[in-house]
Each structure stands twice: as structure tokens, then as C-alpha cells.
Amino acid sequence: MAGPSLLWPESRAPSERPAVWINAAMSLDGKLAFSGGKRATLSSPRDLDRVNGIRATSDAVLVGAGTIRKDNPSLRVHWERLQGLPPLEGIRRDPPPYRVVLGSLRDIPASAKIFDGTLPTLVFSTRGEDVSRSQGSLKVVACEGPRVDPMVPLRWMRSHGIRRLMVEGGSAVLSTFLQGGLFDRLTLFVAPVLVGGSLAPSLVSGRETHTEGDLTRLRLTASEPLEGGLLLTLEPGVGPVVA
């Protein structure tokens, strides 16, 4: 198992925000899920162990409201999955990592796992949100709209002691953080499958690109085969020019 990739890149993060570690699993054609966003299991079992290792050493795990609506994730650490990993630096069982949602609570049913009261949960939404929903373990932070400037939640979290933020998706959130350069590491499990179609969400959506100058460039720092797939580790910045 890749020991170094479970060490947080904290020293590279600017002091105004937490270190941001983005993790995702995608198909060979860059899809995150099935058509219409139906959840697809693209990670291998050992990759899921690794993902839990990142969660267990983070202070907070962030997803977009779209992922909550589609996947209803618990965003909890599955402690039982950590047994095959090397000793992890900075595991935080108590308090456990916050779960963080970017977007509105609209269309998220009261039965959603993020409302189960078992973990501290932050929601960063625009001003139309009902902040009176903040109670118990749930805190709603109203941000200036119409879209949340991602630096607002990042600064808020940093000033509230969150130094390590894992970002798990989905497509809109990954676009914001990746194309905005708001990350210190990206780990990407590439599954040897093709999803196909045009209605399955891609790793990034975001703005249209027209020239090489519009490309978001990343630097590949490691690649390793993992259970038939490929685990890539990347950082922001320019590597060898490939396009």
C-alpha cells in the first residue's frame, strides 16, 4: 500500500485555508457514475480502504449537495476498513471528522444520512437557506449568493481549527476545486471500465475550454497499479507539457 500518499500535504497549503486533498474514482472515460448520476462503484476494495485512510486522518470531508441527493452517503469513517493499512499519522477518532456539504438543503429528505445526528455536520449554503435548521450536530452557515465562493467555507473551516479537508466530489464540486487550483493533492483511482454515454457525470464539468491556454494543468507525482486499476497522485502545477 502506498504509504507516502497517506501523508497529508499540509506544508504546501496556504495558511488561509486547510490543506485540501481531493480524492475520486473514475472510469477510463472519465466518468464518476452511471447515466443521470446513478451511483457506480468504481473503487476496488483496497482503494476503498485507502479512501477510508484519508477520511480517518482528515478533519473534515466535503461533498456537494448533488452527491448527497444522488448517493445519500454517510461520510463516516469505516474504521473496520483500516486494518490493512500501514499505521496512519494523525488519526482522529474523537471528535471524528466533520462532514461538510456545499450547496442547499433543498430536496434533501429529512431521512438523509447527513441528518442522522451521529456526526458534526456543516452546510455552506447561500443566504436563502434556513439557518434555523442549525441544531444539535448540524450547523448551517449562510454565505453570500448566488454561488458560494469556495474560499469562504475554506477560510471559515481554517479559522475553526479544520486543517485537513478531504474533498470527495461530485462533478460540480470537483470542477470548482480542481479548476480553481484549490487543492494540494489529487488522488484518482482509474478503474479499467468504460461507462459511456453523455449523461454520466464526468470528473469535471465546469466552463468550456477552447485553447491550450484554458487547460487546467496538473503534475503527476506517482502512479501505481492497484487491483487491476491505476492509482494516480497529482498536484497542481505544470508537469511535462503533454498538450
Ligand X SMILES: NC(=O)c1ccc[n+]([C@@H]2O[C@H](COP(=O)([O-])OP(=O)(O)OC[C@H]3O[C@@H](n4cnc5c(N)ncnc54)[C@H](OP(=O)(O)O)[C@@H]3O)[C@@H](O)[C@H]2O)c1
Answer yes or no whether residue 77 interacts with ligand X by CB under 6 A.
no
Per-residue cell: 227 = 487491483
**Footprint of ligand X on 116-155 (CB under 6 A):** 147-148, 150
Q: How far apart are CB 126 and ligand X at their closest, in Å?
A: 6
Is the Cα dihedral 40, 48, 24, 102 positive or negative? positive
User: What are the E-state strand segments in 117-156?
Assistant: 121-126, 138-143
Give residue 135's identity as a one-letter amino acid code.
Q
Rounded Cα gap, residues 94 and 134, in angstroms = 21
* Binding residue (CB under 6 A) for ligand X from 54, 62, 65, 162: 65
Residue 47 is a binding residue for ligand X (CB under 6 A): no
Binding of ligand X at residue 202 (CB under 6 A)? no
Q: Does 229 bind ligand X (CB under 6 A)?
A: no
Secondary structure class of 137 (helix, strand, coil)? coil
The least CB distance from residue 167 to ligand X, in Å, is: 9
Concatenated DSSP letters for 178-207? HHTT--SEEEEEEES----SSSSPBS---S
Q: Quick one: which of 44, 171, 187, 233 contacts ligand X (CB under 6 A)?
A: 171
User: Between residues 176 and 233, which has the closer beta carbon with respect to ligand X?
Assistant: 176
Rg (CA), the chain: 17
Site residues (CB under 6 A) for ligand X?
24-26, 32-33, 37, 39, 42, 63-67, 70-71, 102-104, 106, 147-148, 150, 168-173, 176, 201
